[in-house]
Amino acid sequence: MTTATQTRRIAFTAQLEPMLGSTFQPTGFPDLGAATFSRPLPGGRDQRCLIVESTQSMANRLEATGWDGAANRPIDAFQGLPYIEVVSSDGHYLTSSRTEAHRLFSAYIRDAIWENASGDSVLLDKLGIHADTPLDYPAMAKAIVALDPLSLLHGVFFAGQSKAKKTRAAWPAQPRITRAVSAVIEAHDIREVASGGRKADSVRHSLGEESGETGGTAEGYGSVPFHRMEYTAGTITASFVVDTQLIASYGLPEPTTKLLETLALWEIRQLLDGGLRLRTACDLALIDGSLTSRTGHTLPTVEELEGELRSAISGSSTSLGEGKAITVQWSLQKAAK
């Protein structure tokens, strides 16, 4: 087996099982449905498999472990880490770099008023992006850590227009910050479970839609049968990889590099311990004793990792800007100007 030193990765594999019954509902894609595939096995055989949760969805779920959705703020263990908070013109919370699909490059951040300038202009200045100038990824990483270190951990694509729209500054380059922690859940040796149900209407037994009456199924009336496809599997496997080589390549101070690695491990542990209720019909749990490392690492407990986080955040204070929310203001009217 390749050693951890050679790979410069931290990799874990965990076996999962449904909390309710034996079936589960995988993620679905438009015009595709479940993402099924075949993988080769020894002896020339193929095994039917599917993606239960994609890498992009798992990135969002890992990031969500550090967010308090009820309070619209980071959890206490993440105090001291900066992030962008977007508020309305009257000061009400709207969104943040921790919850937006594009993180730091969210349209709400780009079009917000930030330091008396547009978010786009501020980002360009802080990232040091200029026309006819090579991209300096270590310098950009340093700037991103001071804005929101989780955007550096989970990736962000600054896909700005090369020619400015009237409401935005021009982006002469479009740097992509690669995701440093990746995860996926796959099901192997799958079987279809076809089932269905019926939405019942005890009032309107006969709709008479053929006669032109209003109040039909399009308006929500009537009894409507439906089908659904779920699956069983021989094994359900969650895989996690932390790219420590990528994190080290940014040349950040050692405490900040350690902070990013610890954040990744904390999110993995929290996700596994907290349960994986991905959907109503896809509630998974870690099988006791099934967590293994492909690179010789161990995954500490949440309590141990939180202690390491406190130490790493304290040691990285000079890299983390003000270490709190950077509040910017967005309104549709201002964004359109």
**What phi and psi, each to the nearest 5 degrees, are found at residue 184?**
-155, 150
Per-residue pLDDT of the chain (337 residues; tens, 9 = 90+): 344 445 689 999 999 999 999 999 998 877 788 899 999 999 989 999 999 999 999 999 999 999 999 999 999 999 999 999 999 999 999 999 999 989 999 999 999 998 888 999 999 999 999 988 999 999 999 999 999 999 999 999 998 876 666 667 788 889 999 999 999 999 999 999 998 777 777 787 666 555 556 667 767 787 777 777 899 999 999 999 999 999 999 999 999 999 999 999 999 999 999 879 999 999 999 999 999 998 999 999 999 999 999 999 999 999 999 999 999 999 876 665 5
209 located within any domain: no
Beta bridge partners of 193: 230
* Residue listed under structure tokens 């943040």: 96
d(CA 97, CA 109) in angstroms, rounded, equals 8
45 located within any domain: yes
Say how many residues make up the chain: 337
138 located within any domain: yes
Helical ranges in 161-292 per DSSP H: 244-249, 254-274
Note the pLDDT of residue 229.
86
Instruction: Tell which residue, 161, 131, 155, 160, has the closest CA to residue 141.
Output: 155
Question: Cβ contacts of residue 219 below 8 Å, gap of 6+?
Answer: none
For helices 55-64 and 254-274, give the axis angle rounded to 10 degrees: 100
d(CA 39, CA 97) in angstroms, rounded, equals 37
Note the pLDDT of residue 5.
45
140 located within any domain: yes
Q: What is the pTM of this model?
A: 0.89
Rg (CA), the chain: 24
Q: What are the CA-CA distances from residue 201 to residues 148, 187, 195, 225 (Å)?
A: 50, 37, 20, 11
210 located within any domain: no
- Total Cβ atoms within 10 A of residue 206: 8
d(CA 164, CA 178) in angstroms, rounded, equals 25
Note the pLDDT of residue 1.
39
Note the pLDDT of residue 220.
75
291 located within any domain: yes
Q: What's the number of domains the chain is made of?
A: 1
216 located within any domain: no
211 located within any domain: no
Q: Which domain holds residue 29?
A: 4-199+221-336
